[in-house]
Structure 1
Amino acid sequence: MTRIWCIAGMIFALGATATAQDVSTDDVYTCTSVTEDAERLACYDTAVGRLQAAEAAGDVTTVTRQEVEQVRQDSFGFSIPSLPSLTLGKSDDQSLKEMTLPVKAVRGNRGNLVITLENGQIWRQTDSKALRNNGQTEAQIYEAAFGSYKMKLDGGIAFRVERVK
């Protein structure tokens, strides 16, 4: 019987040399269906060992929901096609459509505004609306048609913007 376990252990160990693409938490979850205690323990040891090795090699990392949300907020206004893959398994549309942030500075005048927000984002006016720089304190940015964005400063008139930084 011991020989069978040694052979099984060697098979699991050989499987552990697979590429990082083959490592996932699904391997750990699969172990819950193993009914024999010793086999289940061997399964867990192998799966966890593979995850630890992949993490140590930098091939796998753990990301919290808060970190994903921070990335979504920081990237608001940029076109990042791979970002939706960070939805943490949610199937409904959880994309960020609107943000309201404090304004750090507004430069320019009359259709040529550059708005710097407290979080470091920089937005530039792209339409020709004549808006005044009156020391605005809050920017509401939201998605408009065809992937463009609009901004309102202190609840004023909406104007088209693009994210610069």
Structure 2
Amino acid sequence: MGKSYVAALTAAALVSGVSGPALAGDDKANTPPPPELYQQLMACRAVTDAGERLACYDRQIAAFSEAASKHEIVISDKNAVKAARRGLFGFAAPIGKLMGFGGEDDRAEEIEQIETTVAGVRRSAAGWRLELEDGSTWEQNDTRDFVLSPKIGNAVRISRGALGTYLVSVQGQRAVKMRRIN
């Protein structure tokens, strides 16, 4: 093997080693640290004297409570995050990272499809616009058409497609590409 071949392999290995976690979506690097108030509260665990530890907890809980009452910090659980994900389905929002959840569990819980009902229908030159029971509005962005026109009360299934697209099927018909507009 020539020196240039070995140098190229070494460079490729270094680049993949450095950029691999970033390209693979290494969530430890991308997940924001916990809020400072939370970190300070957790630091109280390290205080060895029982009285000082209790005083530390009391101080930090008071600060935490005050911040929560001023909406400077939001306390949420996984059920609230799931509800937010469902409400944001169709938008490109990193809800898991925004809410402080990350890693493999976050990707496993990502919503791949939703089922709901048509609440409003409009046809335009661009195609169909569907208002759904959950309050979202979807607009057609391809040239295919439904076999039967969508009607209020029809069942709808919206699935993630490739490359950020969404496929909308009404009453089990062939799906058409649509995008969420609200």
TM range (shorter): 0.7 to 0.9
Per-residue deviation, 1:28: 2.6
Output one character per residue of 1:2-50: Cα deviation in whole Å (capped at 9) or x when no partner: xxxxxxxxxxxxxxxxxxx5311x3333323433221111111122122
CA contact (8 A) 1:65 1:88 kept: no
Runs of 5+ in structure 1 lacking a partner? 1-20
2:157 is the counterpart of 1:148: no
- The correspondence for 1:35, drawn from 21, 35, 48, is 48
Per-residue deviation, 1:90: 4.8
- Partner of residue 61, structure 1: 74
CA contact (8 A) 1:111 1:130 kept: no
Per-residue deviation, 1:65: 2.5
Matched positions, count: 143
Q: Distance in 2 between matches of 1:134 and 1:47?
A: 55
- The correspondence for 1:112, drawn from 117, 123, 127, is 127
Runs of 5+ in structure 2 lacking a partner? 1-34
- Partner of residue 144, structure 2: 129
**Greater helix content:** 2
TM-score (norm 2): 0.68
Q: Distance in 2 between matches of 1:149 and 1:51?
A: 40
Output one character per residue of 1:124-146: Cα deviation in whole Å (capped at 9) or x when no partner: 11111132315261111011111
Runs of 4+ in 1 over 6 A off after TM superposition: none
- Partner of residue 138, structure 1: 155
Per-residue deviation, 1:110: 9.4
